[in-house]
Chains A and B, each alone.
Chain A
Amino acid sequence: MHIRVTRSGGFAGLTLHAELETSGRPDAAELERLATDAVTAAEPESSPVVPDGFEYEITVDDHTAHCADPHLTDAQRQLFERLLHEGA
């Protein structure tokens, strides 16, 4: 599974990208579960965000979806923290 996350917005307006291929990774099963849950709970179009909240674009293989602060599910939060190495 190919997972890509882009975070934009926030007070600073800095954009962050991260992507990875799960095959061959020891944590592949967990990442694939998080990514599947995260993208299923996300919106096809950009979600409304609170002022200075973070906005996220998740792509799992060829399916892209969106979510934003403060509407993140636990799976989305965990996925973003794993990929971006920052609190979500």
Chain B
Amino acid sequence: MKYLAHVCSIVPPHIVDALADSDDPEVREVGLRTRELDDQQRQQRLRAVPIEAPAVPPFVTDQPDRTVFDAGQSTDLPGNRTRGEQDTPTTDQAVNEAFDGLGSTFTFYYDVFQRRSIDGAGLPLDATVHYGQNFNNALWNGRQMVFGDGNRKTLQNFTASLDVIAHELTHGVTMYSGGLDYQGQSGALNESISDVFGSLAKQYTLRQTAEDADWLIGDGVLVSGINGVALRSMKAPGTAYDDPLMGKDPQPAVMADYVNTLRDSGGVHINSGIPNHAFYLVAMALGGYAWEKAGRIWYQTLTSGTLPSDADFPTFAQATTATAHTLYGPGTEEDAVRKAWGQVGVNGNG
């Protein structure tokens, strides 16, 4: 039944299901990808509904082009357009926080890496707040950021944390840089890169050195009363929370504690602790502002165009070590990167 693959765009859903059910991995992949494309096309049609035309000429691309939408607790995207670049702040705190967070993240990427927006070419930054009812999440859906209000028993205020907003935007940066497959070790690297630049955006905005930074991700989203300081700690993975409602932070810091699981796309939010900690160790070894050297090495590696989308930890370790050598020559920086990966038990053979 392989011939069906060639007409996948018009295959009805039950056939797609049959394809996706196939014992042949290639056929199954086609079935799964077809469902993905169907959804993308549906989203594009939804997205094609015109919104208000800008009253002034388009912004030059060294300024962000932000639009915040309000889903009003529905699951319709993008929702009602609530604030754009020409508008004054609204009375809705989540709208203003998202707007400001997008601006701070844009400024971070532009000032530090001369990158104009997510795609490097001034892509408009769209975010929807108040998505769903008790939606306990923030995500990047491939074209925009989506923020729920939390269930308010464990998590809330996703828009209040700059590291959360910068984390989501960085998923876009990774996507436009060639992508890292959201599965297993490449998926954990994708997650880690979002945490790294999420934390760096916060550090840059606060002008904190590596020594002064808290290296926490999501420190503003825990409801008060939860026993924890954040969702993740790059400094000490596995120690961010321990609470009856949330369980215990499952992140490992070293390869010996790598978690094999089918859930969470193979533990992408769990095993990201290992590359997160490696970055922290590099930043601490080099000292000063972490975005200047450690951040530059990671950014250059991500955007080089040579990082394979299925990169595993050793591949990324080798690539960052090579980038440190390219940027700074042999010596302190390259040694710090090689040593950090060794400390977390990843052998990059670099």
Contacts and interface: CB of A to CB of B under 8 A. Distances in A.
B262 interface: yes
Main secondary structure of the interface of B (DSSP, over half): mixed
A11 B158 contact: yes
Given A12-B269, A14-B246, A51-B182, A6 B137 contact: no
Contacts of B268: 9, 13
B164 interface: yes
B270 interface: yes
A54 B218 CA distance: 17
A44 B20 contact: yes
Contacts, number: 115
A48 B136 contact: no
B39 A11 contact: no
A7 to B, nearest CB: 9
A12 B247 CA distance: 12
A47 B247 CA distance: 25
Given A10-B139, A45-B20, A53-B139, A87 B134 contact: yes
A15 B138 contact: no
A8 B140 contact: no
Nearest to A74: B75
Interface string B131-148: 111111111111000001
A87 B135 contact: yes
A87 B136 contact: yes
Contacts of A54: 137
B28 to A, nearest CB: 7
Given A11-B158, A51-B182, A53-B141, A86 B263 contact: no
Most buried by A among B218, B221, B264: B264
B132 A88 contact: yes
Interface residues of B, number: 49
B32 A48 contact: yes
A71 interface: yes
A77 B75 CA distance: 10
Contacts of A45: 20, 28, 32
A71 B231 CA distance: 26
Interface in B263-319: 263-265, 268-270
Nearest to A57: B263
Given A51-B171, A51-B190, A8 B138 contact: no
A13 B231 CA distance: 9
Q: Which 5 A-B pairs have the closest CB atoms?
A: A13-B269, A87-B135, A87-B132, A8-B263, A52-B139
Interface of A: 6, 8-15, 41, 43-55, 57, 69-71, 77, 81, 85-88
Given A85-B134, A87-B151, 11 more contacts: A9-B264, A10-B137, A11-B139, A13-B270, A14-B136, A14-B247, A15-B264, A43-B17, A45-B28, A52-B138, A52-B167
25 contacts: A9-B264, A9-B265, A9-B268, A9-B269, A11-B168, A11-B218, A12-B218, A13-B250, A14-B136, A15-B247, A43-B32, A44-B20, A44-B21, A47-B32, A48-B182, A51-B140, A51-B190, A52-B167, A55-B265, A69-B139, A71-B39, A86-B135, A87-B75, A87-B132, A87-B135
